[in-house]
Amino acid sequence: MDKVNVLIDFVHKPFNFTIARIISMILALFLSVVLTVNPGHIAQSIDQLDHGYLSLLMLALSAAFIHGIGFNPIFWLWKILFSPYFSWVILFSFIASRITSFL
C-alpha cells in the first residue's frame, strides 16, 4: 500500500500549493452559499430533484472543503475520493451548467 500512497501523492503534487487550496475553499464557500440561499439552482420543485446528482454535488463540496483547509488523508481511498481532480470537475461543471441555463 505504501507504493499506492506514494503514487497518489505524486499525482496530487500540483494541488499542494496554497493557491490551489484557496481556489478549493472559495469554490466550496461560494457554491455552498448559492445553494443555501437559492436552492432553485438544483431543482425547481421537489419532484424534479435528482438525488444522485445532489449527493455527488455534496460529496464534491465536502472534498473541496477538505482540500481547502489543508487536510491530507492517510488512507489511499480517501485521498482519491477527496481529491481536487474529482471535486473541481464536478463543481466547475455545475457552475458551467448553471451559467448556460441562464443564457
Number of domains making up the chain = 1
Indicate if the pLDDT at residue 1 is higher than 80: no
* Tens of pLDDT, residues 34-85: 888 877 777 666 666 667 778 898 999 999 999 999 998 889 899 888 999 9
Q: Which domain holds residue 88?
A: 2-102
User: How far is 56 from 47, CA to CA, in rounded Å?
Assistant: 18
- The pTM for the full model equals 0.83
- Would you give the distance in Å from CA 59 to the centre of its chain? 7
Indicate if the pLDDT at residue 10 is higher than 70: yes
Indicate if the pLDDT at residue 14 is higher than 90: no
* Tens of pLDDT, residues 81-92: 899 999 999 999
